[in-house]
Structure 1
Amino acid sequence: MGRETGEMQDAALLSGRVLIWDGAPLREGPGAARIEDDWAVAIRDGRIAALGPAGELRRAHPDLPETRYGRDLICPGFVDAHVHYPQTRIIASWGKRLIDWLETYTFPEEMRFDDPAYARAVADSYLDLTRAAGTTCVASYCTSHPASVDAFFEAAEARGQRVFAGKTCMDRNAPEALCDTAQSALDDSAALLARWHGRGRASYVITPRFSPTSSPEQLEALGALWAQHPDCLMQTHLSEQTDEIAWVAQLFPEARDYLDTYERFGLLGAGGLYGHAIHLTPREVDRLAEVGAAVIHCPTSNTFIGSGLFDMAGLVARGLRLGLATDTGGGSSFSMLRTMAAAYEIGQLRGHALHAAELMWLATAGSAETLGMAGKIGTLAPGAEADLCVLDLASTPAIAQRAARAEDAWEEVFATIMLGDDRAVRDTWIGGRRG
């Protein structure tokens, strides 16, 4: 629901059960999170003003209109750290691996985004679908058309939503209608960055799709742009499938590995978001850790197009910052609940069962951390932006009967993670406004 039709208040008191981070559960263990019964969150001017026992906050903020959620869980809004909004209408397409997926589904659909009206319609649809699933912030690839970037930022601005996005740059190994050049990629990206970066809740992200679709000249140009704007993030793909890695080796025979195709052109750094990162070499892991880069786990995509099993435990042990993402539309769901469930399943296949607290942290504060937004989104804390999701932990008969047997609140949350969908999302609040 757009801001123009949503509830206009940005001041409210929400009471129910409240999820609190005392640390980072993925690094410190589940004890770094807690769920408080009969607590409340006070919102003023689109930010969290206070939280604590409900009775205390009612007395301290008697002017705030209260929404009572009872046994529902008030938690940070979900932060999806790697998506392709232009693939909204081709999600759940059958039977292709990465390179065939691009040629059969992605590139033909992306050609449609030279039409600003089409781009805006898809952007509106995407943001509505994800908001219904409790997602309050995304980092999206657009297409090579500047109009696709404008459409996405405009749709988010109308909703008062924090988003990260950039023009997808590629000047080879793609249809001519989608290809730019090294110079036009630089010029378009610089113009879009100047127009949108830091405007309201928008952040521009420098976005080479991946090494196979960018010439060395284009990668060098984008690396230079990033050096000029180090406050921007840079997003791309890394080591998603083994045949992709073999292709990269053919295209860049002088490179030490896949990561080196970015590093040698200035596209490796602490503000880098590297999607997938499944089949990493020891050198790549070391370099990512050394520079403080972030890798983004896309579990439903990794299984849906047969990419492989992400090494969550190994990368956490090396100290990498990790985010979680749906990777729409290679990913098979708009829901971060479904994405958490897939992350759990992949962890099990690698011998590491993630606790519900770890999964929820990944989908909120962990992803926020990769976007440079730690403490601002993905958390319920005084001063943080008031982006929240409220989960009904008994949203369907199947979930309700399991929750009834739960020994603690975390068991209830885990049941919703594994069995839940958008029906579990009672409400989504963005910037202190309920949609």
Structure 2
Amino acid sequence: MYLNHLGVICALGNNPHEVWQNAVRGSQLGMQTSNFPLVDGTPIIVGQVADEQLPSLAAMPPNYQTRNNQLAAAALTDLRSAIENCKAQFGAERVAVIVGTSTSGIAEGEQALKHYTEQQKLPDSFHYSMQEMAAPADFIAQYCGVSGPRYSISIACSSSARALMSAREILTSGLADAVIVGGVDSLCRLTLNGFRALESTSAGLCQPFSKQRDGINIGEAAAFFIATREPLADAADQICLRGAGHASDAYHMTAPEPHGRGAQLAISAALRQANLAPQAIDYINLHGTGTPLNDAMEASALASLELNHAFASSTKPLTGHTLGAAGALEAALCWLTLNATEGQLPMHCYDGVYDDAIEKLPLVTSDSKLEHRAQHCLSNSFAFGGNNVALIFSRSDVGGTTNDSTD
């Protein structure tokens, strides 16, 4: 499956160029104190998109007017021309929409509940369908004027990674000729207070793989691609989803299996499908949340599979953990890495004190640089409920299989 075009917005920037430039610099300018107050009044750092960067949806039906959909619309700005070309080439009914999300319009539901508490009625602007997980897929289909299959996937923090796998299945089955695929999630009090209640949030900026790591920062983002079986003629930059694997470790609702057995199964399946040895991977975008258990598990899984040779970074200190959008956002960073010509890599930002109690990984620093253009990248997404997804992306000009079978 080819990923032909990219649209993205997050704390790092409002388009692919900004996101890439800030990622390689390790910019944390988008990480700021949340304007969503926590129940206990504690300030919390999040990766937030400025309101002025989001388009108005006043022309859309009221039930589509959510921040989640504004983020999606902003990311789709750079794809609109390519989507129109796909509609002309394949027909609107042959363009599908698959979205990973976990919040959808919950923030609007929170605002409506507050209004109800104060005035004993829901606001006229509120529609329950805003909160449904299918809402982003329905919105994108109407916003872009496409009528192929559309649905959302919501399996916590691996949602949009799984959406990319699902897009490949839709294309392989012949149900569509192009797929608008990716993920979107927006900040809301439910998410922030929920992670706070789990004692998973960091007191400051998150520090993945640091000896002092104490939790995550939450973020919001949208990232979308146009996926096709064959490369599109109008796409200058393309990469392939060359291998993918998913597995459930069935260990705990929120805690990872300590040795990363589910993660190992997913990564191994992705390597087999890509027909690659571990040594072929040039860069790993780590799940790297900054929680004690997750980072130890991921380091153990990678070392067990002899993947601790590759440069690696967690980009969550730059974007926040964008939950259902994380898999697509981090796939976008792999897409940008593979299209970079100077061997640059997304920075790993932390205090520099690696936890020597866990397996050692070669984290990207300001001095890290590949001697050649990256050819293969691995992206890990591990979620509540033991949902583990591993994706391997390759440059489209690199020889070998682009096997589209599932594993």
User: TM-score, normalised to structure 2's length?
Assistant: 0.28
Bigger radius of gyration: 1
User: TM-score, normalised to structure 1's length?
Assistant: 0.27
Q: Choose between structure 1 and 2: higher helix proportion.
A: 1
